A and B are shown apart, each in its own frame.
Chain A
Amino acid sequence: MRKPAQGRTSQDPELLRRLLRAKDRMDAASQEAWPVERLARVSSVSEAHFARSFKEAFGVPPHRYLLTRRIERAKALLRDTELPILDIALQTGWNSLGTFGRTFRDVTGESPGGLRARERTARHELERVPACYASAAHRPDLTSAVSEKRRQEAGVTKDAPQKPEVA
């Protein structure tokens, strides 16, 4: 695996603008399937080039970025709606409740039902912040692979800042 160089290599702004378009498309429809060929087409680059360039530009591989967006949406739905958890799983791009619950727990450290219950008791005053910024501020910070995170386990709560990975 390529390590990011100390003095980061620069990327062509025209390419970055097109990569941003792929990121925007995932943001707008994170429940959809986004195979690399589809994303590469949005950005008008080759598939091989896309994955590498995206990670270089935005710090995470495209599929992991998509995962954080799905979890973010699921959290919002858990918080703001009365939808059954199964419906939320299906609406945010998962095929089964099991996969959703497991991934959700791996990323956020709690179960979907647990988050819902906790949010209910502590309503936040976010009214005055435009919704997407408030939601960006709460985006799960996936600095490690989910599998890694699974190994970490333990008490990462939402109130505590997530610890950066120390290798």
Chain B
Amino acid sequence: MSQGIGVVGLYVRDQDEALEFYVGKLGFRVHTDARNGDYRWLTVQHPEQPSLQLGLFKPQAPVLDESTARTVKEIVAKGAMPPLVLDVDDCRASYEAMRAAGVEFTQAPEERYGNVDANFRDPSGNGWKMIESRRASA
């Protein structure tokens, strides 16, 4: 596939911390880590989804002005960024493994509407819903 979404970005409070989380704890891979002065373009990707990069960006100058950057940092820390969904084959197994790795879960796996899901947050406050994918019926 040559057309489609290439990068979707998240705002994170600290890129080193985010890298340690998404790569070290969730098992993502680094796609691009490029610095230009204070600016760092950092993207990771899910090992089974090479067509999409998840950008881990810091709200900072020169992209944002000081005051806007501060506001964005507050919004992220309040968990007010839009929903993120991670599809997994086995929600309970992933929960155990990720929890053992130190991931902060805000909801343990629960079954509803015939599907299992759990919630976790990255260190910055971005909220993820982890859903057992229904491949059979997909």
Contacts and interface: CB of A to CB of B under 8 A. Distances in A.
> For the complex, would chain A's binding face be called helix, strand, loop or mixed by DSSP majority?
helix
Contacts, number: 52
A23 B74 CA distance: 15
> For the complex, would chain B's binding face be called helix, strand, loop or mixed by DSSP majority?
mixed
Nearest to A19: B78
A130 B85 contact: yes
A130 B116 CA distance: 11
Interface of B: 13, 70-71, 73-74, 76-79, 83, 85, 104, 106-108, 112-113, 117, 119, 121, 124-125, 129, 131
Given A24-B79, A57-B78, A132 B119 contact: yes
Nearest to B82: A133
5 contacts: A10-B74, A16-B78, A20-B79, A21-B104, A28-B106
Contacts of A127: 113
Interface residues of A, number: 21
A127 B79 CA distance: 24
A131 B78 contact: no
